[in-house]
């Protein structure tokens, strides 16, 4: 029986920041993940590989559009490059681990036995504290022929077997993964069809953002709303997708690849019940703002608690759990889900943070909008990417920035400056007075604030 201060279940963003912080402070830690690598699903098959491929698509799109130079995509090269990026980061993480003899990492699954005991392969562990950060996985729906379909994990996983670009693909779903993959592969050169069961894309995203995205998205992407999938069959090396269209007519598409983007679901370690850990009604581990579960010595961080399923939230939650463990379980640090930047990495990208109109209305908050249109922006003009805007929502009276969105160029980076402003309660005057670097799209942030003063 190995006795440790903290057992950390998983090796993703929900886990390794806590492990490193606790190790620095001298705690004895065992962390385990069957991947045998740190970085979790985000690095192994999620955000890092998908955004590497997206950056390559962005290069192609800009080169063709601005330099008028046709790029023939060597997809296997893109996949090799993606694998290289992943390897660089695996190595970086394993070097981090080497600095701490008091932090042991095992490449196996953890099985809980009770609230203080677990087994990891043949190793039996007794732990004072436990952090569960086991993440989520694609929710693969079952229907006739579902075995012929893949998920985004199959495309983006480390050393993916998919090395050639599909000439044609059908994506099932209308969420962020469906639209990101659709816009990326459309640029790389695949003919993309998206079948959406409902009449709505990006459920829960502000309608203005959704309609701006739909208006700016390449019209070559075939998006069919109210078109439920019925079955998929394989015939002569092709996949035949059967569905009904919005008028209820039976239709089919013959394609090379069918991608299911039908949401994600929590992954729970075996023995969660033996440890007495309670789940919420959706099956995620229930936690409070200090990341503590219903069991006093067990914390659950990252995607598995369903609070905010983003890598950067997982990292912050991981540090919150570590800080609270270092305070002997007293809640001294809290996760604030009000100022988490969210980006949908489509072409164009859309980003948002904090309280935007729907939430403001629900909370009865009056606001004033400061708007900056990219058509007036120097860098947007350099790239001829004039659609889109920066919009900041200021509370009426105090003029405190409470939320923002950005549609278009550089939105994934720009949203961070606004995040700092919102998280720290800056007001329109303070944002307006800051001289953002010229000529970058950041200038639009102070300009949007100035527009209301
Ligand atoms: P997060 O962003 O919340 O860290 P990820 O999905 O990126 O979530 O990472 C979760 C990690 O947890 C994955 O790498 C997965 O292999 C690991 N994991 C899942 N179940 C177990 C388990 N029972 N024991 C150890 N690790 C696990």
Q: What is the pLDDT of residues 306-325, one digit of tens each?
A: 999 999 999 999 999 999 99
For ligand 1, mutation pick of 19, 20, 33, 305 (most atoms within 8 Å of CB)? 33
42 CB within 6 A, ligand 1: yes
The per-residue pLDDT for range 242-277, each reduced to its tens digit, is 999 999 999 999 999 999 999 899 999 999 999 999
106 CB within 6 A, ligand 1: no
Looking at the structure, tell me whether residues 75 and 160 fall in a common domain. no
* 3-class DSSP assignment, residue 330: coil
pLDDT for the residue 326: 98
Residues above pLDDT 70, as percent of the chain = 100
Looking at the structure, tell me whether residues 215 and 126 fall in a common domain. no
Max intra-chain CA distance, the chain:
66
Looking at the structure, tell me whether residues 110 and 19 fall in a common domain. yes
Please give the structure tokens belonging to residue 20: 């490193």
The per-residue pLDDT for range 32-76, each reduced to its tens digit, is 999 999 999 999 999 999 999 999 999 999 999 999 999 999 999
Q: Is the pLDDT of residue 359 over 90?
A: yes
Looking at the structure, tell me whether residues 218 and 287 fall in a common domain. no
- Does residue 343 form part of some domain? no
- Does residue 443 form part of some domain? yes
* Mean per-residue pLDDT, 143-149: 97
pLDDT for the residue 140: 85
Looking at the structure, tell me whether residues 325 and 401 fall in a common domain. no
Q: Is the pLDDT of residue 360 over 90?
A: yes
Q: Are 171 and 261 in contact (CB under 8 A)?
A: yes
Please give the structure tokens belonging to residue 178: 């469906």
The percent of the chain in helix, strand and coil, each rounded to the nearest 5, is 35, 25, 40
The gap between the terminal CA atoms of the chain, to the nearest Å, is 66
Environment class of 324 (CB within 10 Å of its CB; exposed 0-12, middle 13-18, buried 19+): buried
Cis peptide before 439 (omega within 30 of 0): yes
pLDDT for the residue 81: 98
Looking at the structure, tell me whether residues 258 and 269 fall in a common domain. no
Looking at the structure, tell me whether residues 223 and 212 fall in a common domain. yes
Q: How many CB atoms lie within 10 A of CB 199?
A: 10
- Does residue 60 form part of some domain? yes
Q: How far is the CA of 52 from the centre of ligand 1 (A)?
A: 21
Of 153, 130, 121, 194, nearest to 41 by C-alpha is: 153
- Which residue range is the domain that position 369 belongs to? 348-450
Looking at the structure, tell me whether residues 315 and 215 fall in a common domain. no
Residue whose CA is closest, atom 3 of ligand 1?
Answer: 302
- Does residue 114 form part of some domain? yes
**Whole-model pTM?**
0.96
- Does residue 199 form part of some domain? yes
pLDDT for the residue 220: 97
Choose one of 232, 262, 292: the last residue of a domain. 262
Looking at the structure, tell me whether residues 122 and 270 fall in a common domain. yes
- Does residue 26 form part of some domain? yes
Q: Is the pLDDT of residue 25 over 90?
A: yes
How many structural domains compose the chain? 3
* Mean per-residue pLDDT, 378-406: 98
Q: Are 292 and 298 in contact (CB under 8 A)?
A: yes
pLDDT for the residue 121: 95
Residues above pLDDT 90, as percent of the chain = 98
Beta strand extents in 214-339 (DSSP E only): 222-224, 229-235, 238-244, 250-255, 257-260, 264-266, 298-300
Q: Is the pLDDT of residue 403 over 90?
A: yes
- Does residue 297 form part of some domain? yes
Which is the closest atom of ligand 1 to the Cα of 137?
6
Q: Can you tell me the distance from the alpha carbon of 111 to that of 132, in angstroms, rounded to the nearest whole number? A: 11
For ligand 1, mutation pick of 16, 50, 135, 273 (most atoms within 8 Å of CB)? 135
- Does residue 342 form part of some domain? no
- Which residues, other chains included, contact 164 with Cβ-Cβ below 8 Å and sequence gap of 6+? 75, 76
271 CB within 6 A, ligand 1: no
Choose one of 199, 227, 262: the last residue of a domain. 262
User: CATH no. for residue 20?
Assistant: 3.50.50.60
Choose one of 262, 290, 306: the last residue of a domain. 262
Looking at the structure, tell me whether residues 272 and 131 fall in a common domain. yes
Looking at the structure, tell me whether residues 16 and 128 fall in a common domain. yes
pLDDT for the residue 9: 98
Q: Can you tell me the distance from the alpha carbon of 453 to that of 442, in angstroms, rounded to the nearest whole number? A: 18
* Beta bridge mates, 103: 29
* Mean per-residue pLDDT, 199-223: 96
Of 433, 381, 432, nearest to 408 by C-alpha is: 381
User: CATH no. for residue 397?
Assistant: 3.30.390.30
Looking at the structure, tell me whether residues 214 and 318 fall in a common domain. no
Which is the closest atom of ligand 1 to the Cα of 311?
2
189 CB within 6 A, ligand 1: no
34 CB within 6 A, ligand 1: yes
């Amino acid at each position: 029986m190995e006795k440790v201060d903290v057992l950390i279940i998983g090796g993703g963003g929900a886990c390794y920041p806590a492990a490193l912080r606790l190790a620095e402070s001298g705690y004895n830690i065992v962390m385990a993940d069957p991947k045998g690598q740190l970085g979790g699903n985000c690095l192994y098959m999620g955000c890092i590989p998908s955004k590497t491929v997206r950056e390559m698509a962005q290069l192609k799109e800009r080169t063709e559009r601005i330099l008028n130079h046709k790029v023939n995509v060597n997809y296997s090269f893109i996949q090799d490059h993606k694998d290289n990026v992943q390897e660089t980061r695996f190595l970086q993480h394993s070097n981090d681990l080497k600095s701490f003899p008091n932090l042991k990492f095992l490449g196996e699954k953890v099985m809980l036995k009770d609230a203080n005991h677990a087994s990891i392969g043949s190793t039996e562990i007794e732990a004072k504290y436990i952090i569960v950060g086991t993440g989520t996985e694609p929710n693969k729906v079952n229907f006739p022929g579902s075995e012929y379909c893949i998920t985004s994990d199959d495309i983006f996983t480390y050393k993916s077997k998919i090395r050639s670009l599909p000439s044609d693909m059908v994506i099932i779903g209308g969420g962020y993964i469906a639209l990101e993959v659709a816009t990326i592969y459309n640029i790389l050169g695949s003919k993309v069809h998206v079948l959406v069961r409902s009449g709505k894309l990006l459920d829960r995203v502000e309608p203005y953002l959704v309609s701006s995205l739909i208006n700016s998205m390449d019209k070559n992407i075939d998006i069919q709303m109210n078109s439920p999938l019925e079955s998929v069959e394989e015939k002569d090396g092709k996949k035949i997708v059967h569905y009904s269209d919005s008028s209820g007519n039976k239709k089919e598409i013959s394609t090379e690849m069918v991608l299911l983007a039908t949401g994600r679901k929590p992954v729970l370690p075996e023995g969660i019940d033996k440890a007495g850990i309670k789940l919420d009604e959706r099956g995620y581990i229930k936690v409070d703002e200090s990341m503590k579960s219903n069991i006093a010595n067990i914390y659950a961080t990252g995607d598995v608690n369903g609070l905010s399923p983003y890598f950067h939230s997982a990292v912050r939650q991981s540090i919150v759990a570590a800080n609270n463990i270092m305070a002997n379980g007293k809640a001294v640090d809290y996760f604030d889900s009000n100022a988490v930047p969210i980006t949908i990495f489509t072409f164009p990208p859309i980003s948002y943070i904090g309280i935007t109109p729907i939430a403001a209305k629900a909370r009865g908050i009056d606001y004033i909008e400061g708007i900056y249109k990219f058509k007036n922006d120097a860098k947007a003009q350099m790239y001829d990417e004039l659609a889109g805007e920066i919009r900041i929502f200021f509370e009426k009276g105090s003029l405190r920035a409470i939320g923002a969105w950005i549609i278009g160029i550089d939105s994934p980076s720009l949203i961070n400056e606004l995040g700092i402003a919102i998280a720290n309660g800056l007001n329109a005057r303070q944002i307006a007075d800051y001289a953002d670097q010229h000529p970058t799209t950041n200038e639009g942030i102070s300009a949007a604030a100035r527009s209301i003063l």
